[in-house]
Amino acid sequence: MAKTVKKAAPKKAAPAAKKAAPKKASAAPKKAAPKKAAKKVNAAFMAPLTPSDALAKVVGNKPLPRTEIIKKIWDYIKKNKLQDTANKRMINADDKLKAVFGKDQVSMFELAKIVGQHVK
């Protein structure tokens, strides 16, 4: 007995795309979309602040923006290996930082608050 194999029916061609209707002339020409304004940096955030005498021993006595002061403190902490080895979120104070922190150990989350107390 010979098996008969059915052949798949040929696929139908996709229907022809409809032609787009001609556009009607509008009464008023369209205006270009307004451009987005460039993001402005908050000038108060980048304003140079003068560090206190205790903080100046760590970051220098030049007026710096708050972001740069925090960055220089972290550079000092990493250079002198003052980050606690067991809990990296804690900073151990040496003699210079103890004058700034007021205690032996602070959390990295307290750092911004402490800097705020030592700048003008």
Q: Which fold has domain 53-117?
A: MDM2 (1.10.245)
pTM, two decimals, is: 0.63
Residue 36 near residue 23, CB atoms below 8 Å: no
- Report the chain's terminal Cα–Cα distance, integer Å: 101
Ordered per-residue pLDDT tens for the chain, 120 residues: 666 776 766 666 666 666 666 666 666 666 666 666 677 767 777 899 999 999 999 999 999 999 999 999 999 999 999 999 999 999 999 999 999 999 999 999 999 999 999 999
What residues contact 103, with CB distance under 8 A and at least 6 apart? 93
107 DSSP β-pair partners: 90
Q: Give the residue extent of every domain in the chain.
A: 53-117
> What is d(CA 114, CA 96) in angstroms, rounded to the nearest whole number?
14
